[in-house]
Amino acid sequence: MVLLTMTHVTKSFGNQHILTDVSLTVNGGEVIHITGGNGSGKSTLLKIIAGIIPATSGEVDLDDSVQTGALIENPGFLEGETLKTNLTFLASINHRTEVSTIQSLATRFDLDYQNHQAIRKYSVGMREKAGIIQAVMEGQNLVLLDEPTRGLDEAALSELVKLVAELQQQNKSIIVASHDNYTPIAYTAHYQLEGGRLSRIVNEPSSTP
Ligand SMILES: Nc1ncnc2c1ncn2[C@@H]1O[C@H](COP(=O)(O)OP(=O)(O)OP(=O)(O)O)[C@@H](O)[C@H]1O
Ligand SMILES: [Mg+2]
């Protein structure tokens, strides 16, 4: 089932053209890896898919079933509040998840759910883990992960790789953006963003579907 269709999407900020004629179709069960250098427009593309900013022109169609989960750039949290308060607050908006689900994700990523520290005191990796958790904790079926490996230690990286594989098995779609061509995450398609254009990279010897 097609979850996302982007057709001829462009994005400009003033007279700066960031995305040019970007088209992309994402099916359930696909893991899309988008790579591109700093400033190539990866986060901009994810923000358009998430509906955080509008495209300048073109179409972005989401299937009616789509619930989007997103970790884009620095995830916004209630900085003075704890992990538990933040995640339960986010969960209270949609009422689609149980505390036990959130707790078990925290445990998987070795975060102490009951920790009294304010999120603003979290390390880069701890914050990234919290960002990953909120992007998946409601069973979202279109999960956008912008540089999700940032700051993660070995154990967390391996949990992330497992988590993405599980989501894929549940027929969810995951889009991972990274400035790095290498990712430990197994993907089904690799696209490169360069000069505002998104092109699929095929026949890649090192791809790991
Ligand atoms: N709100 C904005 N207003 C003006 N320009 C913007 C805005 N957001 C992004 N840009 C510009 O768009 C371009 C692409 O930015 P974007 O953050 O999408 O790149 P990126 O590929 O995610 O880079 P990085 O690897 O550094 O995260 C950059 O030139 C950036 O300055
Ligand atoms: Mg970015």
| Average pLDDT of the residues in 199-208 | 75
pLDDT at 140: 98
Locate 17 and state its tokens.
């053209």
Compute the distance between CA of residue 21 and CA of residue 50 in angstroms, rounded to an integer: 18
Expressed in angstroms and rounded, the spacing between residue 129 Cα and the centre of ligand 2 is 17
Whether 60 contacts 48, CB under 8 Å: yes
Ion ligand 2: residues, CB < 5 A: 42-43
Q: Please tell me the residue having the least CA distance from ligand 1 atom 31.
A: 39
Picking from 115, 127, 121, the residue whose alpha carbon sits closest to that of residue 80 is 121
**Residue closest to 17 by CA, chosen among 39, 47, 46:** 39
Residues with CB under 6 A from ligand 1: 13, 18, 36, 38-44, 179
Q: What is the pLDDT of residues 38-87, one digit of tens each?
A: 999 999 999 999 999 999 999 999 999 999 999 999 889 999 999 999 99
Mean pLDDT across 170-191: 96
Q: What is the pLDDT of residue 206?
A: 55
For the cut 60, the answer to whether the pLDDT of residue 208 exceeds it is no
- How does pLDDT run across 126-140, given as a tens digit for each residue? 999 999 999 999 999
Shortest-distance Cα residue to atom 1 of ligand 1? 13
Assess whether pLDDT exceeds 70 at residue 171: yes
Q: Is pLDDT above 90 for 207?
A: no
Pocket test for ligand 1, best of 10, 12, 13 (most atoms within 8 A of CB): 13
Mutate to test the pocket of ligand 1, among 15, 35, 42, 49 (most ligand atoms within 8 A of CB): 42
- Give the residue whose CA is nearest to atom 5 of ligand 1: 13
Residue ranges of alpha helices (H) inside the chain are: 42-50, 83-94, 99-108, 124-136, 154-169
103-120 pLDDT, tens digit per residue, is 999 999 999 999 999 999
- Cα–Cα dist 25/111, whole Å: 35
Partners of residue 34 on adjacent β-strands: 177, 191
Residue nearest to atom 24 of ligand 1 (CA): 38
What pTM was computed for the model?
0.96
- In the prediction, which pLDDT does 129 show? 98
pLDDT of residue 74: 87
Residue that has been written with the tokens 């505002």 in this structure: 196
Query: What's the topology of domain 2-201?
Result: Rossmann fold (3.40.50)
Q: Side chain identity at 116, as an amino acid letter?
A: H
pLDDT at 205: 63
Q: Tell me which ligand sits closest to the C-alpha of residue 44.
A: 1
**Where does the pLDDT of residue 161 fall: very low under 50, low under 70, confident under 90, or very high at 90 and above?**
very high
Atom of ligand 1 nearest to the CA of 40: 21
d(CA 64, CA 62): 6
